[in-house]
Amino acid sequence: MGEPDSTAGKIQDKPCPERPLGRLLRQSYKKQTHVQLYLPIADIPVNIFLILAMGAAVGFVSGMFGIGGGFLMTPLLIFVGIAPAVAVASVASHIAASSFSGAISYWRRRAIDPVLALVLLSGGSLGTALGVWTFTLLRSLGQLDLMIAMSYVILLTTVGGLMFWEGLRALLRARRGGPVTTRRPGSHVWIHGLPLKMRFKRSKIYLSIIPVVVIGLVIGFIGAVMGIGGGFILVPLLIYVLRVPTSTVIGTSMVLTLVTMVFATMLHAVTNHLVDAVLALILMVGGVTGAQFGARAGQKIRGEHLRLLLGLLVLAVGVRFAVELVIRPEDLFTIRETGGGG
C-alpha cells in the first residue's frame, strides 16, 4: 500500500472508452478531485468548471448572435460523454433560462408582439408534444442517437450553408460598394394568399394564421427532438416568409423558444425522466453570464460579418456530426441498460 492515492489511480488509469474530450474531462478531474461533481441523472462525474466554461462559451456565442445556443450546447455535452438523450432533455431547461432573461429585456423595450407570439405558441405547444412523443418512440427503438445525429447533419448543414452563402454575398456586395440592403423578398408569395387572415398590430403585418401555426409546430417539434431552441431557424423564417419586421422578430421568437422549452422540460421530465437538474443549473449560470458579454461583443461586429460567422459555426457543427456518422466508429458495439432486473 504505497502512496495514499494509489487506489484512485488504479481505478481511473483503466482505458477510457469515451471520446478524446471525455478522456480530457476525466484526466482533469483526476488532478483536481475537489471540483468534480456527480451528475445524478447523467450518472457520471464531471468537472464543474469545465461544464461552467462550456455554458459560458455557448452563452457568449448565443448572446453575440441573439440565439439560444442549444445547437451548440447539446453537441458539446454529447462530445463530452453525456448520453445524447440526457443532453437533449437537460439543454431544454438551459435554453428556457437564457431565453427568459432575453425575453424580459425585449419586453421592457416593447419589442415583443404578444399576439403573434400567442399564435406561434399554439402551434409550438403541439409541435413540442409531438416531438417528445417521437423522442420516446425512437428511444425505445434504439435509434434515438442516430436520429439526433442525422437531424443535426441535415438541419445544420442546410441552414449553416444558406446563412454562410447569404453572409458571403452580403459581404461581397458591401465590398463592391453597393447598398447593403437586407433582402426582404417583396413578391407576394402564395403564403400571403391563405385564408384566416389576422392583423398583428405591433408588428404591423396582416397575414393568415396558417403559416404562423405551422412554423410554430415545426420549431416546437425539432426543438424537442434535437434539444435546440430553434431561434436560428425561426428568426430567418419569420423575416423571410412572414415578413415580420426586425423590431419585433427576435423578442417574439424568444417568447416562442421560452414557452416551448419550458414545455419540453416538463414533458421530458414526466415521460423520460432524463432532465438532469444539476447539469442544467450549471449550464444556466454559465450561459446567462456568458450571454451578457456576448451581446456586448456582438454590437461591435457588423451585421453581415455576424451572419457569416454564425453560418460558419452552424455549418461546422453539422459537418462534425456528418463525419462522426460516416467514419468507421472506434467500436462497433454499444451497450445500453433497458431497465428490469433488480
Give the footprint of other proteins on residues 257-296 (CB under 8 A).
261-262, 265-271, 273, 275, 277-278, 280-281, 284-285, 288-289, 291-292
* Smallest separation (angstroms) from other proteins to the CB of 253: 16
Query: Which of residues 51, 54, 68, 94 is near other proteins by CB under 8 A?
Result: 94
Q: Is 85 in the site for other proteins (CB under 8 A)?
A: no
177 vs 332 by CB, closer to other proteins: 332
Pairing verdict, β 205-208 and 197-200? antiparallel
| CA 158/CA 233 separation, integer angstroms | 11
* Smallest separation (angstroms) from other proteins to the CB of 61: 16
Close Cβ partners of 41 (under 8 Å, ≥ 6 residues apart)? 86, 90, 273, 274, 275, 276, 277, 278, 279
Q: Provide the 3-class DSSP secondary structure of residue 195.
A: coil
Q: Is 139 in the site for other proteins (CB under 8 A)?
A: no
**Nearest CA-CA partner of 242 in 294, 185, 299, 292:** 185
Query: Which of residues 53, 137, 146, 189 is near other proteins by CB under 8 A?
Result: 146
CA-based torsion, 196, 259, 145, 70: positive or negative: positive
163 vs 283 by CB, closer to other proteins: 283
Q: Is 17 in the site for other proteins (CB under 8 A)?
A: yes
Query: Which of residues 47, 62, 98, 248 is near other proteins by CB under 8 A?
Result: 98
| CA 80/CA 73 separation, integer angstroms | 11
Restricting to residues 306-335, which ones interact with other proteins according to CB under 8 A? 325-329, 331-335
Residue appearing with cell numbers 483503466: 14
Cβ–Cβ < 8 Å for 275, 77:
no
Query: Which of residues 27, 53, 110, 143 is near other proteins by CB under 8 A?
Result: 143
Neighbours of 267 (CB within 10 A): 21
Query: Which of residues 56, 82, 96, 308 is near other proteins by CB under 8 A?
Result: 96
Query: Which of residues 2, 3, 4, 10 is near other proteins by CB under 8 A?
Result: 10
Restricting to residues 100-119, which ones interact with other proteins according to CB under 8 A? 100-105, 108
Choices 42-50, 172-180, 193-201, 237-245 (CB under 8 A): range interacting with other proteins: 42-50
- At 149, list the grid cell: 445525429
211 vs 287 by CB, closer to other proteins: 287
Sketch the per residue contact string, 206 through 245, with other proteins: x for CB under 8 A, - otherwise: ----------------------------------------
| CA 162/CA 171 separation, integer angstroms | 14
* Smallest separation (angstroms) from other proteins to the CB of 6: 9
Q: Is 24 in the site for other proteins (CB under 8 A)?
A: no
Backbone angles phi, psi at 312, to 5 degrees: -60, -45
Q: Is 339 in the site for other proteins (CB under 8 A)?
A: yes
* Smallest separation (angstroms) from other proteins to the CB of 336: 5
* Smallest separation (angstroms) from other proteins to the CB of 273: 5
**What burial letters (b/e) apply to 67-104, b meaning 16+ CB within 10 Å?**
bbbbbbbbbbbbbbbbbbbbbbbbbbbbbbbbbbbbbe
Cα 189 to chain centroid distance, Å, stands at 30
